[in-house]
């Protein structure tokens, strides 16, 4: 079928570049691109990614997770004690 088509300059440049790169005629590259676009529109949307959460245990006794500095301080204290026990 023969028809007149107006392409944006950037689309025409991309099609011409692809035609030169692949060695295919402009008409073939254009038809392939239109077919691919139509198939992509007909394809079902991808399923949303679902993550199954797993429990990792609760917080240590006496640690309020709402207070990040308190948690960081407790972890730092534990690390210092560990290093002292190792003699570092």
Q: Burial letters for 35-58: b for 16+ Cβ neighbours within 10 Å, e otherwise?
A: eeeeeeeeeeeeeeeeeeeeeeee
The count of structural domains within the chain is 1
pLDDT at 59 over 80: no
Q: Looking at the domain assignment, is residue 4 inside a domain?
A: no
Q: Looking at the domain assignment, is residue 29 inside a domain?
A: yes
Q: Looking at the domain assignment, is residue 52 inside a domain?
A: no
pLDDT value of residue 58: 77
Helical packing angle, 26-42 and 9-22, nearest 10° = 110
Q: Looking at the domain assignment, is residue 15 inside a domain?
A: yes
pLDDT value of residue 88: 67
pLDDT at 51 over 70: yes
What DSSP assignment string belongs to 2-21?
-------HHHHHHHHHHHHH
Q: Looking at the domain assignment, is residue 50 inside a domain?
A: no
pLDDT value of residue 87: 82
Q: Looking at the domain assignment, is residue 27 inside a domain?
A: yes
Q: Could you tell me the residue range of the domain that residue 32 belongs to?
A: 9-42
Q: Looking at the domain assignment, is residue 26 inside a domain?
A: yes
Q: Looking at the domain assignment, is residue 28 inside a domain?
A: yes
Q: What is the pLDDT of residues 2-42, one digit of tens each?
A: 899 999 999 999 999 999 999 999 999 999 999 999 999 88
């Amino acid at each position: 079928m023969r028809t007149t088509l107006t392409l944006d300059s950037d689309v025409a440049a991309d099609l011409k570049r692809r035609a030169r790169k692949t060695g295919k005629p402009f008409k073939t590259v254009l038809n392939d691109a239109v077919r691919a676009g139509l198939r992509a529109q007909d394809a079902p949307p991808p399923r949303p990614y679902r993550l199954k959460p797993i429990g990792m245990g609760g917080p240590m006794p006496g640690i309020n997770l709402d207070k990040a500095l308190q948690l960081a301080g407790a972890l730092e204290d534990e690390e210092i004690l560990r290093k002292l026990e190792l003699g570092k």
